[in-house]
């Protein structure tokens, strides 16, 4: 979220896409803020992928990000585009590998890994 907030605070008009993968609506952090960002129409798009259960009215399919789904959500990746992947190590490695297998230069893929934060 820090990158999205920074982009908005800076007044940047560069397009930005956030693909957020989460188990369910209950595990979606910053849900209200993400809804506001998505509705603002200032060049930040937000796609939420539910891996286990989706809320009523969700139009997408439930399940993990795979090659086809990532390609559809991420769209065309130009030479100057950077992708930032953040999450648990297994997720980060999987998505980074998918991006590079889809033709993205590995130097354009930035990663940040984290472990369990405790709690629920």
Cα gap 111→96, rounded to integer Å: 8
pLDDT at 120 over 60: no
pTM for this model (two decimals)? 0.86
All structural domains of the chain: 1-64 (3.40.50.80), 75-115 (no CATH)
pLDDT at 50 over 70: yes
DSSP at 103: T
Q: Which of 46, 45, 44, 64 is nearest to 54 (CA)?
A: 64
DSSP at 23: S
Average pLDDT along the chain: 89
List the helix and strand counts (H, then E) for the chain: 4, 4
Q: What is the pLDDT of residue 54?
A: 94
Cα gap 93→80, rounded to integer Å: 22
**What are the structure tokens assigned to 35, written together?**
């809804």
**Which residues are registered as beta bridge partners of 45?**
17
pLDDT at 76 over 80: no
pLDDT at 1 over 90: no
């Amino acid at each position: 979220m820090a990158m999205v907030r920074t982009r908005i605070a800076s007044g940047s008009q560069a397009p930005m896409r956030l693909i957020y993968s989460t188990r369910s609506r209950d595990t979606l952090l910053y849900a209200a803020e993400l809804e506001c960002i998505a509705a603002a129409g200032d060049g930040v798009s937000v796609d939420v992928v539910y891996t286990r259960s989706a809320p009523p009215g969700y139009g997408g399919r439930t399940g993990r990000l795979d090659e086809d789904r990532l390609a559809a959500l991420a769209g065309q990746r130009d030479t100057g585009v950077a992708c930032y992947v953040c999450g648990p190590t297994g997720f980060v490695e999987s998505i980074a590998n998918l991006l590079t297998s889809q033709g993205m230069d590995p130097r354009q893929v930035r990663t940040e890994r984290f472990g369990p934060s405790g709690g629920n």
